[in-house]
């Protein structure tokens, strides 16, 4: 929810599942318009920045950490306070799909911020 208010006690809202989905979509858009175009570069930059955040210890569960998913801080239903700050299987799926797509795209692998 892009209009959700920031909650200091929750340090968010944060939603790693939405970040994974958006990253995959941004990479797909970058390919569709051409990664060398100005628009494609903007999509690619946003995707890479988001993936870098997802790869950080804040979002990526670390080896030995007792967590049931790959990505922490996902959200299922924020307005009803259901499934908030949890691991979600589809978040893992889309996050891994985005990393896999980036690895298969030379422009993404070589992207420098």
Is residue 2 classed as helix, strand or coil in its secondary structure?
A: coil
Tally of CB atoms within 10 A around 22: 16
The pLDDT of residue 1: 56
**Quick one: which of 27, 97, 84, 85 has its CA closest to 61?**
85
17 and 71 Cβ atoms separated by less than 8 Å: yes
In this prediction the pTM is: 0.88
The pLDDT of residue 103: 97
* pLDDT surpassing 90 at residue 82: no
The pLDDT of residue 29: 98
The pLDDT of residue 50: 96
Tell me what the mean pLDDT of segment 21-34 comes to: 98
- Helical H segments across 12-80, by residue range: 16-33, 38-54
């Amino acid at each position: 929810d892009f209009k959700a208010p920031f909650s200091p006690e929750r340090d968010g809202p944060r939603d790693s599942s939405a970040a994974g989905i958006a990253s995959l979509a941004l990479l797909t858009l970058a390919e569709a318009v051409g990664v060398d175009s100005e628009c494609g570069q903007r999509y690619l930059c946003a995707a890479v920045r988001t993936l870098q955040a997802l790869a950080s210890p804040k979002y990526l569960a670390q080896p030995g950490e007792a967590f049931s998913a790959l990505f922490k801080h996902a959200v299922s239903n924020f307005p009803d306070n259901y499934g908030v700050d949890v691991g979600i299987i589809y978040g893992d799926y889309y996050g891994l799909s985005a990393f896999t797509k980036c690895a298969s795209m030379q422009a993404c692998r070589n992207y420098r911020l």
